Structure 1
Amino acid sequence: MPLYKTITPNSQTVVKIWKISESYNVLMQSLNLSSESLERVLGMKSEMHQRGFLSVRHLLREFGYQDADLYYDENGKPHLKDGKHISITHSFNFSAVIISDDVVGIDIEKQRDKITIIAHKFIDYEFDYLNEIDSDYIKKLTTIWCVKESLYKLFAKPGLSFKKYFLVIPFEIKDENTVAWIDYKNKNYRYNIHFLEFEGFTCAYAIA
């Protein structure tokens, strides 16, 4: 299907989400990929990853960009040649792009029970307000992961531990927003976070 959802958090920022229902061949049609991008997508072993990659290029077109307008730095962070800030994510059959005049980060994750197995790896403080018998427990764990992943992309300091450096204050799923902090080199950075749910997925995005 085409564009799934468009969100405009402010006048300088737009989020676009794509539901990936098309085949690889359909997604590849009409795209003008750079030789580097073509080599990259052909080298992917998973068709799911290929379709995710191509759907992001379709999202770029929705913004008025082409594949050639996008490049990656040495840390793998995406950039646009016109200087606007961009962040990209895809998970299973959804992908999303956020573009803004401000520094941004975005993440989508599928809500799955197995996140409980790895929760101890990315959560510390948040365990103080989480409750395993809460009906929203899996959703909250997924939201916290998405928040921290979006901040990791925004902050762009490779190797930062989600558990050690990132903190998400208490929230309810119905709120669709929260506040998160990055504690790095004796400085605290505060961010307003927005999140939403759709079809068993969670998406969170941060704007500096």
Structure 2
Amino acid sequence: MPLYKTITPNSQTTVKIWKITESYDFLMQDLELKPETLKRVLGMKSELHQRGFLSVRHLLGAFGYTDADLFYDENGKPHLKDGKQISITHSFIFAAVVISDGIVGIDIEKQREKIKIIAHKFINYEANYLNENADDYVQYLTKIWCVKESLYKLFATPGLSFKQHCLVIPFSTNAEDTIAWIDYNQEKHRYHVACFEFEGFTCAYAIQ
């Protein structure tokens, strides 16, 4: 089982990251999937997406859960039947799950040049400290995206905008944590977000 990394930021929270090296057929073995889950997997056109989805089910098993323990609400937010909080992500060859007593959000993204093309869609306040000509610009943008995506998953509120409502304060690209805010409906919410890099990928997770 290629469990890549386990992180325990506090006694109530655990993050597990999986490196997806197995084939689709291998990942399907020994998995008990709900009929609706199996239908969803079989309907995916990308095998890479299928493998990411199935690796999340294996990560659930590493926590002691099964697919039957997981369900989604009307906004697409995942939940566990025992009341524990969960957030899920996968990108290319990595997948991750965080489970906690408190509300959480997690995201993994591959660092790619194309993020510069969409930067205007999620950067607002952060433009005040970003340097487009810096060697680490793509790395920095990816960290900001991951931080905002983790907040988006944590807050799980329709209408929340990366650009208008999520703010990430300045931090160095080698920093492994930062402070971010959600400013929504005239209320401000402050979060500590862990952020780290590995093998050309970035991961961020926020805990309420």
Q: Deviations over 1:62-111 (max 9, x none)?
A: 00000100000011100000000000000011000000000000000000
What CA deviation, in whole Å up to 9, does each residue of 1:1-21 have, x standing for no partner? 510000001000000000001
Count the aligned residue pairs. 208
What are the residue-to-residue correspondences of 1:50-129 with 2, within 5 Å?
Answer: 50-129=50-129
Aligned to 2:155: 155
Instruction: State the one-letter code of the partner of 1:64.
Output: G
Output the amino acid matched with 1:73: D
Partner letter of residue 119 of structure 1? A
Residue 20 (structure 2) pairs with residue 20 (structure 1): yes
Structure 1 unaligned runs (5+)? none
C-alpha deviation, 1:133, in angstroms: 2.2
State the alpha-carbon separation in 2 of the partners of residues 29 and 159 from structure 1: 39
For structure 2, the residue ranges without an aligned partner over 5 or more in a row are none
| Regions of 4+ moved over 6 Å | none
Q: TM-score normalised to the size of structure 1?
A: 0.98
TM-score (norm 2): 0.98
Alpha-carbon displacement from aligned partner over 1:129-153 (angstroms, at most 9, x marks no partner): 0112222211110000000000000
Alignment check: 8 A CA contact 2:111 2:139 kept: yes
Deviates more, 1:91-100 or 1:133-142: 133-142
- Give me the CA root mean square deviation: 0.7
Distance 1:110 1:198 in 2: 10
Distance in 1, Cα, partners of 2:191 & 2:179: 6
CA distance in 2, matches of 1:79, 1:161: 22
Distance 2:173 2:103 in 1: 25
